[in-house]
Amino acid sequence: VCSSNLALSSIGYGPEQIALVLVLPGLILYNYFPWIIAAIVALLFIITISYAQVIKVHPQGGGAYSIAKEYLGEYPALLAAASLCADYVLTVAVSVSSGTAALISAWPALIPYQIGIDLFAVFAILMLINLRGLREASNAFVWPTYAFLVTALMLAGSGIYQIFVLGRPPVILPQATTTLTPGTLCFLLLLAFANGCSSMTGVEAIANGAGAFREPVAKNAKKTIAVMAIILSTLLISTGFLIVHFGLLPSADRTLLSLLAETVWGRGTGYFIFQLLTMVILYLAANTAYNGLPPLMSILAQDGYLPRYLAHRGARLSFANGIILLSLCAGGLIIAFHGSVEHLISLYAVGVFLSFTLAQAGLCVHWLRQQPRPYGRLLLNGFGALVTAAVVGIILVTKFIHGAWIILIFLPILMRIFKAIHTHYEKVREALTLSSEELTNILSQPVNEHHVLLPVASPTRAVARALRYARDITDDAH
């Protein structure tokens, strides 16, 4: 369950992003809310089933980049890498901003300090913890995940109990005073669906980190992704149902999940505990990116697409340079978008579903190379690739003016940077590489004199002996 915290935490902002689109001046389209949730749950299970094949073929993990590199070629692999980089940076920005929103929903006096709290969480908590390389901290992360899961299910169960056992009536929302054309209605429903797709951002995290599971790796990872899908779909359905039944509308200074908890439990101890756990699980979801992006950048650096220093671990065996770079990028996004989850979400899902599509397209190539061809698996991943590609199209069309255009510009630029770095390293390699004739010529030339340069931090016996040896072989020793 701990490896699923990114997916499970999306309950903190996914349903609210749907509601923000369905609530218009003079018109509330909550009668479509259940259908949008149903479409998202169906998409979740399609991706879960098809991604189980990703785990089967690549139980060592690696994600969309390694699959695209192996089966689709260089440019699809670079597109996958750029998409994953955008996805991980936005994961930190969205999750931290959502976690802080949960905190200030319970304590509104903190609203003026929202961005400061966001940046404190990124730099003073997430970055420093990961720079210290605290492996044992992962065990401590299990308990907040379980605690949030239990309280979220208790919240859903309490609300359903109040409705069906205690007979709590539904809230009648105001009658519509405006009408929409069919085209406008269709666009809004697609936009609500695109916003809700942010709830599926944690599926690939399990496949990427499959190598961390115990043996048998593939079996355990597939079980985890299946359990995650069942729990997340349960939370989405129950939360969506309760939001509609209680007529909860988005608020400028309160999250929808906070309003739901207050409606069901009141503003008591249980409410404040739930809000704190929501904040913690969202911050832990941001930590998922710190486990994913620095290793990915290390792989890209080893392949020559990023500077070499990103490939190396620091003194505490963490990818320190990658961790710092991720924190700076996420912090910059939080400042640029003023910590607004609604605005950050517009950028979020594009990279996620692009990587879904490329990973499944790569698996289609894998199945086509098998003899005999497993047409069932080929059909499954082919269908999954088509569905996720369609979602990418929906997101780009409906959210283009809301910020998706930034991703369309960013991804090609990042791919160009990858390619430029790789070209530079190739030129350096060619300049340093000797042909066999050049090597023979250099080795055949007599050595006329030696020059010795001896770095010395402080005089020691070892330094004295090294200096004596240097003077034995040359008069030019420094």
Tell me what the mean pLDDT of segment 133-162 comes to.
83
Q: How far apart are CA 188 and CA 183, in angstroms?
A: 9
Q: Are the C-beta atoms of 217 and 368 separated by less than 8 Å?
A: no
Residue 93's pLDDT is what?
94
Q: Is the pLDDT reported for residue 3 higher than 60?
A: no
The DSSP code sequence of 153-221 is HHHHHHHHHHHHTS-PPPPPPPPP-----HHHHHHHHHHHHHHHGGGGTTHHHHHHTGGGSPSSHHHHH
DSSP codes of every residue in 288-327: HHHHHHHHHHHHHHHTTSS-GGGGS--TTSS-HHHHHHHH
Average pLDDT, the chain: 86
Whether the per-residue pLDDT at 183 is higher than 60: the answer is yes
**How much is the pLDDT for 137?**
52
Lowest mean pLDDT among 132-136, 167-171, 320-324, 436-440: 132-136
Mean pLDDT is lowest, of 44-53, 314-323, 410-419, for: 314-323
pLDDT at 333 over 80: yes
Helix (H) or strand (E) holding 36: helix 33-57
> What are the sequence ranges of the domains in the chain?
4-430, 449-477
Three-state secondary-structure class, residue 23: strand
Q: What is the DSSP letter of 469?
A: H
Distance CA 428, CA 53 (A): 40
The percent helix, strand, coil of the chain (3-state, each to 5) is 80, 0, 20
Q: Does 331 have pLDDT greater than 60?
A: yes
pLDDT digit string (tens) for 112-130? 999 999 999 999 988 988 8
The topology (CATH level 3) of 4-430 is Amino acid/polyamine transporter I (1.20.1740)
